[in-house]
Chain A
């Protein structure tokens, strides 16, 4: 423990992603653009939520930050360090990750204790400073306790734990090296609703106690609203809307964000029916993937789309309340949206 310096709040750095472009190879000389010019910032000690449907590129952003995606252009910096092109042994250990699948994220043949000690051993290997067996074990017990699991967990195997418990273990593993930023890549998506709430509360508690910042990736705007101060809405690898989480959840300005908000079920069946009809009216063709070209990526699914939208890709612009939206018609109120649709 002596090797690690005690962090003050001023030490933590911010993560900056600037104009990130990621292309996945699809075989012979063909590529698919998964992330298309995304910029984001995770300020120290706060939470940025990244929302989008599957295939929107949100997990690719996480992979790019972890150095596991084929970045075409752009920059990723943490504090004053550039992260792109770093060999895996030199990556900043201040950035840690919790993955989505609680079953694939723990090695089934190693004890929980061994798995949790692994980041410490890697650090010893990197720095040459040895904590020793007892030091590592003490740290393992400390972190298990932090995430609400008994110290005896260390001697057991992953198969003896439920999905929620495994996710706690994954969080403990991410905390082993005193991270400043934890990337949660759909970290609660595979869990039951009640367990989701427990894990979200655990993350909020850890953030409060340890001051870690979170890059929280999810397809569920409701979950993101619960945990994040800022939100970024992705669609087909592009930013559609970004800004204050509560404001965007309450009054989404981009037609796609609106569709996302509408797609979450509500408790009142009457309201649910009304919302479903509105959603259908606003997003006529769901799931279709028209060629992008110069058009707005959402144009083919958008009720507000005009000739301008298919001709010119909308750039992110800042609205009066501080949020940024990539839509030519963002000023139209949702009510007008319906009206426009019906009168056209």
Chain B
């Protein structure tokens, strides 16, 4: 267990270099620069060039990257070239918002998906067909579009939930819940349907196996058959897909935060990209990469816990 974690952390070091280097390189391909953003549309080219030189943005590419890495390894991620706010602080503040969106979404996707999938595998009939149709919609509809529709129904028409904005949990728990409900539903829809389908397929397979027949023939209570045997075995492939869905949902927060105007990492990344604010972009990229590594690690540990075959080898 500890060896797995240690191994993962070692592997993640080169990965962080690759990701930040790629982000750095791609950013330099986007037309425009930070000085232009700061000085505005009407600035003279001479003034823009001078500010760029002043901020070190005209230095050679590798020199700039090496400079950033040199500071980053000591824990200094620089500050925004636009606002001057330290990158570390703004990333940490906004990480809280993104996580209060991501974690409830994943919990909702896992719980609702597994419950619907199990119900459909056990009951079959109209419930299974309904889940098939709804899940097709869940796959096909983009989360930001679903978000807009939810806003127009629940915020504009019914007026029961706020359309935009974020209230921190510490300020008011009830308003926090109200502010994240629509974004969480929009973000988790894909996950719910994907996990429901995955659960149903694997649970149907488990239900058809001879060891379940044996248990039923021996009068083992159905509750225990379903919870101890069917759920446990069908959750192995579900754990795998939950990992993929988590990473997808992390990317989905970028859209959702923009739709609902939430001050999270996704909206920070969008704004920083528009502003050519390289230190902030790198800070967000670093944070997302660490999150993906962490999610993968957690999923692998869960997988090992669920599947004795992995543990043995």
**Contact, CB under 8 Å: B216 / A159:** no
User: Could you jot down 27 A-B contacts, CB within 8 Å?
Assistant: A66-B213, A68-B216, A88-B217, A88-B219, A91-B218, A93-B218, A96-B218, A97-B217, A99-B210, A104-B209, A105-B210, A107-B211, A107-B229, A108-B233, A108-B308, A108-B309, A109-B236, A109-B307, A111-B308, A119-B218, A122-B215, A122-B218, A122-B219, A125-B221, A160-B312, A173-B214, A177-B218
Which residues of chain B are near A122, meaning CB under 8 Å?
215, 218-221
Residue of B nearest to A174 (CB): B214
B226 contacts A by Cβ under 8 Å: no
Tell me the residues in window 58-97 of chain A with beta carbons closer than 8 Å to chain B beta carbons. 66-68, 88-91, 93, 96-97
User: Is A107 touching B219 in the complex (CB atoms < 8 A)?
Assistant: no
Determine if A312 is an interface residue (Cβ-Cβ < 8 Å): no
Query: Residue of A at shortest CB range from B215?
Result: A118
Residues from chain B with Cβ under 8 Å of A66 in the complex: 213, 217
Considering only CB atoms, which chain B residue lies closest to A126 in the complex?
B219
**CB-CB contacts of A96-140 with B at 8 A, as 1s and 0s?**
110111001111111100010011011001100000000000000
Known contacts A91-B217, A91-B219; A157 and B210 CB within 8 A of each other? no
Q: Known A109-B233, A119-B218; judge A157-B308 contact (CB<8 A).
A: yes
- Proximity bits, A149-165, B CB within 8 Å = 1, else 0: 00000000101100000
Please provide the 3 A-B residue pairs with the shortest distance between their CB atoms, ordered closest to farther: A105-B210, A99-B210, A89-B219
In the assembled complex, the Cα of A107 lies from the Cα of B214 at a distance in Å of 10
A111 to B306, CA, bound (A): 13
- Known A109-B308, A159-B309; contact A68-B221, beta-carbon cutoff 8 A: no
Within 8 A of A (CB), among B203-262: 209-211, 213-222, 229, 232-233, 236
**Could you say which residues of chain B place their CB within 8 Å of the CB of A90?**
219
What 0/1 readout, one digit per residue, does chain A (16-31) give for beta carbons within 8 Å of chain B?
0000000000000000
B129–chain A nearest beta-carbon distance, Å: 14
CB-based nearest B residue for A88: B219
A25 CB, min distance to chain B CBs, angstroms: 12
CB distance from A159 to the nearest CB of B (A): 5
Do the beta carbons of B214 and A105 come within 8 Å of each other? Answer: yes
Alpha-carbon distance between A101 and B308 when the two chains are bound, in angstroms: 20
Query: How distant is the Cα of A99 from the Cα of B210 in the complex, in angstroms?
Result: 7
B221 CB to nearest chain A CB (Å): 7
A residues less than 8 Å from B308 (CB atoms): 108-109, 111, 157, 159
Across chains A and B, the number of contacting residue pairs, with CB separation under 8 Å, is 75
Task: Name the one of B216, B233, B309 contacting A107, with C-beta atoms under 8 angstroms.
Answer: B233
Chain B residues with CB under 8 Å of A160's CB are 312
CB distance from B230 to the nearest CB of A (A): 10
Contact (Cβ within 8 A) B312 A115: no
What is the minimal beta-carbon distance from B175 to any residue of chain A, in angstroms?
43
Which residues of chain B have C-beta atoms less than 8 A from A89's C-beta? 219, 221
Instruction: Kindly list chain A residues whose C-beta atoms are within 8 Å of the C-beta of B236.
Output: 109
Measured between beta carbons, the chain A residues less than 8 angstroms from B309 are 108, 157, 159
In the assembled complex, how far is the CB of residue A219 from the closest CB belonging to chain B, in whole angstroms?
A: 18
- Enumerate chain B residues within 8 angstroms of A99, measured Cβ to Cβ: 210, 213-214
Give A159 to B308 CA distance when docked, in angstroms.
9
- The chain B residue sitting closest to A185, CB to CB, is B210
Residues A101 and B210 in contact in the complex (CB < 8 Å), given A66-B217, A89-B221, A118-B220:
yes
Chain B residues, CB < 8 A from A118? 215, 218, 220
> In chain B, what residue has the closest Cβ to A106?
B211
Q: Which residue on chain A has the smallest CB distance to residue B221? A: A125
Closest to A114 in B: B228
Question: Contact: B213 with A68, CB < 8 Å?
Answer: yes
Q: Which residues of chain A come closer than 8 Å to B216, judged between CB atoms?
A: 68, 88
Taking A110-B229, A126-B219 as given, write out 10 further A-B residue pairs in contact, using a Cβ cutoff of 8 Å, ordered by the A residue number: A89-B219, A89-B221, A91-B217, A93-B219, A108-B307, A109-B233, A115-B211, A119-B218, A157-B309, A157-B312
**B312 partner residues in chain A, CB cutoff 8 A:** 157, 159-160
- Give chain B nearest CB distance to A191 CB in angstroms: 15
Q: How far is the CA of A91 from the CA of B211 in the complex (A)?
A: 17
Q: How far is the CA of A109 from the CA of B229 in the complex (A)?
A: 8
| CB of B164 to closest CB in A, whole Å | 45
Question: Roughly how many angstroms separate A194 CA and B218 CA in the complex, as a whole number?
Answer: 31
Select the residue from A101, A104, A173 with max chain B CB neighbours within 10 A.
Answer: A104
Q: A109-B232, A109-B306 are in contact. Are A104 and B211 (CB under 8 A)?
A: yes
Residues of chain A with a CB closer than 8 A to B211's CB? 104-107, 115
Q: Is the CB of B210 within 8 A of A104?
A: yes
Distance (whole angstroms) from the CB of A52 to the closest CB of chain B: 20
Q: Interface centre among B209, B211, B220, by most A CB within 10 Å? A: B211
CB-based nearest B residue for A115: B211
Q: Chain A's nearest CB lies how many Å from the CB of B212?
A: 8
B residues less than 8 Å from A101 (CB atoms):
210
Alpha-carbon separation in the docked complex, A119 to B210 (Å):
14
- Which residues of B are found within 8 Å of A97, using beta-carbon distances? 213-214, 217
A88 to B232, CA, bound (A): 22
Task: Find chain A residues with CB under 8 A from B218 CB.
Answer: 88, 91, 93, 96, 118-119, 122, 177
Chain B residues lying within 8 Å of A159, measured Cβ to Cβ, are: 308-309, 312
What is the distance, in angstroms, from A88's C-beta to the closest C-beta of chain B? Answer: 5
Closest to A177 in B: B218
Q: In whole angstroms, how far apart are the Cα atoms of A108 and B221 in the complex?
A: 20
Q: In whole angstroms, how far apart are the Cα atoms of A67 and B219 in the complex?
A: 11
B226 to chain A, nearest CB (A): 13
Most buried by B among A109, A111, A115, A126: A109
List residues of A (165-201) whose CB comes within 8 Å of B's CBs: 173, 177
**Minimum CB–CB distance for B137 against chain A, Å:** 26
Interface centre among B218, B220, B309 (most CB of A within 10 A): B218
